[in-house]
Structure 1
Amino acid sequence: MLNVLLVEDDLDLADTVVQFLELEGIRCDHGANGMAGLQLAKEGGYQVLLLDINLPRLDGLSLCEKLRDGGDDTPVLMLTARDGLDDKLAGFKAGTDDYLVKPFALKELVVRLEALARRRSGQVRKLSCADLEMNLRDKTVSREGKILKLSPTGWRLLEALLRASPEVVSRQALEEAVWEDDIPDSNSLKVHIFHLRKAIDLPFSSPLLQTVAGHGFAIRENSVE
């Protein structure tokens, strides 16, 4: 079942949306202000977030920006009465994935939700695991606060691994993420993984880049047997 979060201070509208989505087989939790929405979103488990722009305590754009800065890549659909280009550009800058202008058709809402639920957001600003952080906005990688130097290929590998963390990424998926259709010889990935592990793990006490025999690689804290 699709699980979404609605953050909307118009209680009548929120009640209508929640009831309609439930009829469509979509579970919808509700937060009535920005701070409540932030707390619910951090608890996780949602495939899409529906955020009203004009919220008490914390507006929708600020809420979205806080989530993105914290590494949350859940797709965000912004609900707004503003349909001007400047307003939409501000939303995309804050990390919004899509807009739906009020008043909207509930059927259209369902279509937008289902489309967004099929992917993770590309608007996240920070990816992390334990003390390893990749800042996509500043194009920096650090561990224990120390800036690490990566090659462009190492950067793409680490980004693919962190986006999937703690799940395993297959060799094929990593090769496609780095080289797309121009995949080099079979030893290239092995060499680049070696250099990536040397950069992010060798100077530190706990390894994060794990090799999962027969499956691929993962960035995670626990060791792989």
Structure 2
Amino acid sequence: QGSDVPILMLTARDQLEDKLEGFQMGTDDYLVKPFDMPELAARLMAMVRRQRGELAANRLQVADLVLDAGTFEVMRANQVISLSPTCFRILKILMRESPRLVTRESLEQELWGDTPPDSDTLRSHLYKLRQAIDKPFDTALLQTIPGQGFKLAVMR
């Protein structure tokens, strides 16, 4: 429990109750003996593909800025960047939507639901985020589009 290693249960027990118990215990797939080796190989390859897809889904990248949602790590130009939890969430939203524009309203809705704090709160977090991900670097990525919203993209 708590591990992300895929589990394939190989067993002679073929009753539905046995299979359900195996899945309840955390197995990802269940194969009853006797089985053919090509079927075992196909099931293992499918598990590896799913595992890789999940790992890739945790990683977002815009230019040289990388966010790993699984480890809560942010890097730019191979430098680790420390962010507050709220700045991390804002960055994740902007990276997920990049290069599309994210309106202030949709950003506030995703961050705080129907009860957003005062307007200076978001502005303050965006200022801190900009200081962390843009100021130390040659190219700014976080863009404010007046009256429209924000986006994360390489400026042309």
TM-score, length-scaled by structure 1: 0.48
Question: Residue 61 of structure 1 aligns to which amino acid in structure 2?
Answer: M
1:203 to 2:122 alignment: no
Q: Which has the larger radius of gyration?
A: 2
Counterparts of 2:142 and 2:53, CA distance in 1: 25
* Aligned residues between the structures: 117
The question of whether the paired residues in 2 share the 8 Å contact of 1:156 and 1:177 is answered with: no
Q: What's 1:87 paired with?
A: none
Counterparts of 1:167 and 1:65, CA distance in 2: 28
Q: What's 1:62 paired with?
A: 48
Q: Deviations over 1:82-134 (max 9, x none)?
A: xxxxxxxxxxxxxxxxxxxxxxxxxxxxxxxxxxxxxxxxxx21111111111
1:146 to 2:85 alignment: no
Q: What's 2:90 paired with?
A: 157
- Match runs of 1:18-97 below 5 Å: 55=42, 59-70=45-56
The question of whether the paired residues in 2 share the 8 Å contact of 1:171 and 1:216 is answered with: yes
1:187 to 2:117 alignment: no
Question: Residue 97 of structure 2 aligns to which amino acid in structure 1?
Answer: A
TM-score, length-scaled by structure 2: 0.68
Question: Residue 60 of structure 1 aligns to which amino acid in structure 2?
Answer: A
- Classify the secondary structure of the residue corresponding to 1:141: strand
Counterparts of 1:68 and 1:132, CA distance in 2: 20
- Classify the secondary structure of the residue corresponding to 1:210: strand
Counterparts of 2:54 and 2:131, CA distance in 1: 29
- Classify the secondary structure of the residue corresponding to 1:169: coil
Question: Residue 131 of structure 1 aligns to which amino acid in structure 2?
Answer: D
Q: What is the percent sequence identity of the aligned residues?
A: 36
CA RMSD in angstroms, aligned pairs only: 2.0
The runs of 5 or more residues in structure 1 that have no matched partner are 1-52, 71-123
Counterparts of 2:54 and 2:126, CA distance in 1: 27
- Classify the secondary structure of the residue corresponding to 1:128: strand
Q: CA deviation at 1:55?
A: 4.0
Counterparts of 1:202 and 1:157, CA distance in 2: 17
